[in-house]
Amino acid sequence: MPIRTKAPLGSPCWTDLWTSDVEGSRKFYSELFSWEALAPSPEFGGYFMFTRDGVPVAGGMGDMGEMKADNTWKIYLDTPDIARTVTETEKAGGQVLTPVVPVADLGDQFVLADPNGAQLGAWQAGTFPGFTVLGEHGSPSWFELHTRGFERAIDFYHSVFLWKLNAVSDSDEFRYSVMLNPSGEGELAGIMDGSRSLPADVIDHWSVYWHVDDPETTVAAAKSLGGSVTQDITDTPYGRLASLKDPSGASFKIRSVQS
């Protein structure tokens, strides 16, 4: 799998875990995906990196002072102009949840909510482009927004992150659009109409899928490590998919695609 040096414009470029059990999460994901959890950085409030074969694949952090971790994975979208992204977020009906924060020379970030309440981050890269390997075991495979406000989400990500979208399906039973790669061929993320499928107690949210070579082995390992399965392995046109939770309750998905 080729290594990219920069994320395509507006695309998912990083993901991190906000966990109430730092040590438990470090152990769980390291054993599940053959990651290495690097030492937490005092300079960055205890933030730490997960790497695989020496390459960063995700980040992690625990409680932030009085702000208690909510056990979620957050995705970040690339932006070349973070000040513009802040302005456009507010113009398009989103909410800026944290101000822009420089992270040493690595880049600048802020956290936002789209008009339907789904939370995510924006990242303007400095020396750190985010993850550089996708589609290998234990690396990111796909990113997906589940929303009750489908058309509003389409408009938001088009105007704020300059997405070009293609409708895969547009029926009441299955409404789905994908972000087209602005740097070439391919698709980089999806938006699913969840108005019929999202449970009442589940808010609009982004999901990250991790690529795995053998879903059965990964699901069995997750269970043995204290995780749980929320949706069993399903064969779909987009690969073999399953939904899981780690022992602290953070949701994530796995995906296996035949080459």
Each residue's pLDDT tens digit, 56-68: 999 999 998 888 9
Spatial distance between the Cα atoms of 168 and 187, rounded to a whole number of angstroms: 11
Q: Which amino acid does the sequence have at 58?
A: A
pLDDT at 1 (0 to 100): 52
At 141 the pLDDT is 95
15: helix, coil or strand? strand
Helices (H), the chain: 22-33, 82-91, 150-161, 215-224
Predicted pLDDT at 2: 59
Asked if residue 177 lies in contact with residue 167, where contact means CB atoms within 8 angstroms, the answer is: yes
Count Cβ atoms below 10 Å from residue 116 Cβ, excluding itself.
20
Measured CA to CA in angstroms, residue 188 lies from 12, 195, 209, 225 at distances of 7, 22, 12, 30
**Residue 259, pLDDT score:** 58
pLDDT at 184: 84
Domain ranges of the chain: 1-259
Spacing of C-alpha 146 from chain mean position: 12
Q: Enumerate the β-bridge partners of residue 164.
A: none
169 CB-near residues (< 8 Å, 6+ apart): 175, 176
Topology of domain 1-259 in CATH is 2,3-Dihydroxybiphenyl 1,2-Dioxygenase; domain 1 (3.10.180)
Answer for the pair 78, 64: CB distance below 8 angstroms, yes or no: no
* H/E segment holding residue 54: none
Give the 3-state secondary structure of residue 25. Answer: helix
The vertex-129 CA angle with 128 and 131, nearest 5°, equals: 110
* DSSP class per residue in 78-99: E-S-HHHHHHHHHHTT-EE-S-
Spans of the chain, pLDDT less than 70:
1-2, 259
